[in-house]
Structure 1
Amino acid sequence: MPESKSERWQWENATAGAVAGFATVAAMHPLDVVRTRFQVNDGRVSNLPSYKNTAHAIFTIARLEGLRGLYAGFYPAVLGSTVSWGLYFFFYDRAKQRYSKNKGEKLSPGEHLASAAEAGALVCLCTNPIWLVKTRLQLQTPLHQTRPYFGLYDALRTIIREEGWSALYKGIVPGLFLVSHGAIQFTTYEELRKVIVDLKSKGSKKDSESDDKLLKSVDYAVLGASSKIAAILLTYPFQVVRARLQQRPSSDGIPRYMDSWHVVKETARFEGVRGFYKGITPNLLKNVPAASITFIVYENVLKLLKNARTD
């Protein structure tokens, strides 16, 4: 039975999203390592070296741990990001199609928000174990006294043996709150995209010219960066809470933080508001250009797939 047009379109979105996610991770992973280490360093007892700033952190990790340190957790990051982006665009597009089925093509901001939130929640439930492993691998340094994890499979096996299956879902609560990050980003992207298309269509001689022809890679870069900044500023504290919850327990098996509320109380008490934004500089350096790359790749891969389909 041949695929329907809507099914083919969904898989094109999934493919474009997966390719975009891989390109993003490969380019920006060292900044992700630095961000994670800043996030969990609460200024008290720590197995992490002390870093003055983002540049100092990168040079210190490179000097003490080499390329392996800068790319700690790379495999789960590639797997998690590729799967996440692929699933995200797939679920997001399905949700948009469902909302627009009986009312034409245009969706309201609220429907874009609901579509993105739905996709984000499904992706979070599917990928939390991968992000847990990525965080723990990134936090392994020569200062650790416990037996290190030797990769993704060994980490999963050790976590299940030592902490049980439930440990794979540590950080799921702030992770679900982080669904709002994708919702904010995609809603901002879609609304700004409409504004740019409207402005360009007014200056275009061909009123019937499609959005694909009106928008160029530089437009996708600006849209991706702008939407990402808005999402980061509003949701970053949830990332800090999640990273702190996902740390490996000490050698006696006692976790540093018991739950999300414990993280919030301890961070507010000892570090104040600044504690909830630790690591935001490398996060912006990583994610703002990464968002531009992601949407440039995504939109252009989508164009190629659409052109191949119509040829």
Structure 2
Amino acid sequence: MTTIEKKPINFSNILLGAGLNMAEVTSLGQPLEVIKTTMAANRSLSIFQAGKLVWSRGGLFGFYQGLIPWAWIEASTKGAVLLFVSAEAEYQFKKLGLNNFVSGMGGGISGGLAQAYLTMGFCTCMKTVEITRAKQVATAGVPKQTSFQVFQDIYKKEGIRGINKGVNAVAIRQMTNWGSRFGLSRLAEEAIRKITKKGENDKLNAIEKIASSVIGGGLSAWNQPIEVIRVEMQSKTKDPNRPAKLGVGSAFKYIYQNNGIKGLYRGVTPRIGLGVWQTVFMVAFGDIFKKLLNADGAGH
């Protein structure tokens, strides 16, 4: 009987994951996130109109709204949470006798759920608040509300639920994101093996690995309706017709009634770009830096 071993979690790998996530979000990650969220919250806008609206909210800095501190907090913590939880869950699924594909998928789904409820819920909520709240008019003697003051206001009025608004939609998104990325990337790997006539045990080269991850990352945007629902639940965009308390179901109904199927897929183009950028960044740069740090022991 084969002994099932748990992959060791390398501390330098956790630091590398946090560092790469920080670099990814500070480069193209946050601008793509801002455009995607703006389109999801204002569903009549095209990608170019959304870009113009973001620019009007502060020029180049408008594309980085919500970066500090919320996107940085999220980026520096979500990688470590995913690594710990997915490794433990994958080990437990294997112990139950499930194969590598199902165990890996189960590990990814479990890690995604943990990310949502432990770190990403309040971070995505506050990022969306920053991106969608009305721009404060400069008034003499009236200081502008900082991001932390907005956080405190929401917490005073609505408590933990207020700052975690939409967390269930975030959990569904992360669960389907990681399930899709694992599954679709694995299918893409199999297709690449067939095209290149490589056997099951032959290693894919860096370009082939990146290509399969890009395909998986791009195609995982099929769950964009969940992302639009999440944005709507967290949005500070004013609409008198919007129900006061939105759940996942009521948000879906509201978006569908107002904008139809197209409304549920607003922002899918920057979302695909974001998925591809994140994947290339984490896979390509991750492999390069892992070799430099000799941190290859722990999985992605």
Q: TM-score range by the shorter chain?
A: 0.7 to 0.9
Alignment pair present for 1:156 and 2:144? no
Task: Write the deviation string for residues 48-79 of structure 1: whole angstroms up to 9, x where unpaired.
Answer: xxx4x323432443255212211100121122
Alignment-derived partner of residue 217 in structure 2: 228
Shift of 1:149: 4.3
Shift of 1:230: 2.0
Tell me the secondary structure at the aligned position of residue 164 of structure 1. helix
State the secondary structure of the residue aligned to 2:65: coil
* Residue matched to 1:62: 55
For 2:205, the equivalent position in structure 1 comes to: 215
Shift in CA distance, 114/174, structure 1 to aligned 2, threshold 3 Å? same
Q: Provide TM-score, normalisation by structure 2.
A: 0.80
Q: Is the 8 A contact 2:228 2:264 kept in 1?
A: yes
Distance 1:124 1:144, change over 3 A: farther
Indicate if the aligned counterparts of 1:241 and 1:263 stay in contact, CA closer than 8 A. yes
Look up the match of 1:22.
22
Aligned residue identity for 1:220: K
Q: Distance in 2 between matches of 1:243 and 1:6?
A: 37
Q: Deviations over 1:241-296 (max 9, x none)?
A: 000000238699x9655222221111111211001001112222232233211221
Structure 1: tracts of 5 or more residues without a match: 44-50
Cα displacement string for residues 214-248 of structure 1 (whole angstroms, at most 9, x for unaligned residues): 522x2332122111122112x11100000000023
Give the secondary structure class of the aligned counterpart of 2:20.
Answer: helix
Q: What's the Cα RMSD here?
A: 3.4
Residue pair 1:18, 1:85 contacting (<8 A) in 2 also: yes
Deviation at 1:100, TM superposition (A): 3.9
Q: In 2, distance between residues paired with 1:305 and 1:107?
A: 31
Q: Counterparts of 1:102-117 in structure 2 under 5 Å? A: 107-117=99-109
Match of 2:72 in 1: 78
1:172 equivalent in structure 2: 167
Distance 2:149 2:261 in 1: 36
Q: Does 1:282 align with 2:270?
A: yes
1:293 aligns with one of 249, 273, 281? 281
2:39 counterpart of 1:38: yes
CA distance, structure 1, for counterparts of residue 273 and residue 33 of structure 2: 9
Question: Partner residue of 2:128?
Answer: 135
CA pair 270-163 structure 1, distance change in 2 beyond 3 A: same
Shift of 1:112: 1.6
Counterpart Cα distance in 2 of 1:208 and 1:18: 31
Q: 2: distance between equivalents of 1:268 and 1:125?
A: 27
Residues 240, 276 of structure 1: 8 Å contact kept: yes
SS in 2 for 1:9: coil
Q: Cα offset for 1:201?
A: 8.9
Give the structure 2 partner of residue 48 of structure 1.
Answer: none
Distance (Å, rounded) in 2 between the aligned partners of 1:261 and 1:148: 35
Aligned residue number for residue 46 of structure 1: none
Post-superposition offset of 1:10: 4.4
Q: Is the 8 A contact 1:16 1:86 kept in 2?
A: no
Identity of aligned residues (%): 18
Kindly indicate whether residue 178 of structure 2 is the aligned counterpart of residue 182 of structure 1: yes
Q: Which residue of 2 aligns with 1:271?
A: 259
Cα pair distance change 1:244/1:265, threshold 3 Å? same
- Give 3-state SS (helix, strand or coil) of 1:272's partner: helix
Q: Deviations over 1:8-40 (max 9, x none)?
A: 534344333223322221222112111111101
